[in-house]
A = this chain, B = another copy of it.
Amino acid sequence: MTHKAINLNEKLSQFTEHWSPRTVTEFNGHDIMVAKIKGEYHWHSHPDTDDFFLVISGTITIRLRDGDVVLNPGELFVIPKGVEHQPICAEEAHIMLIEKSGTPNSGDAETAAPRQFI
């Protein structure tokens, strides 16, 4: 059997949409995802899962109600479950995300991007 590494930049090259995470593999009931983001997302929270952000390229700010955190490439931050946050970035940034499988990215099933494997 041939096992294949998952190359994050190769996965990111397959789509252009912002705020539409793609699932690259699964891990203990979680989705490992990549996303391209630009601009301001809305404030939201995830009541059932921590939210893992790792920046691959670009710079993002995660606004929290009690302060901001700025992430550059090679930097990560975990937003605890239930904590409101707003990701923003002036220029396009590429990130790896981890959330429990089935989590609406928007915090709301009505407005969430569909789960898409890549």
> Which residues of A are at the interface with B, using a C-beta cutoff of 8 A?
1-9, 24-28, 30, 32, 49-50, 52, 56, 62, 64, 66-72, 74-78, 81, 98, 100
Contact = CB atoms under 8 A, between A and B. Distances in A.
Q: How many copies does the complex hold?
A: 2
A56 B74 CA distance: 8
B75 A3 contact: no
A78 B5 CA distance: 9
26 contacts: A1-B66, A1-B67, A2-B67, A3-B64, A3-B66, A3-B68, A3-B69, A4-B69, A5-B76, A5-B77, A6-B75, A6-B76, A7-B72, A8-B74, A9-B74, A24-B76, A27-B50, A27-B78, A27-B98, A28-B30, A28-B49, A28-B81, A32-B52, A32-B78, A56-B74, A98-B98
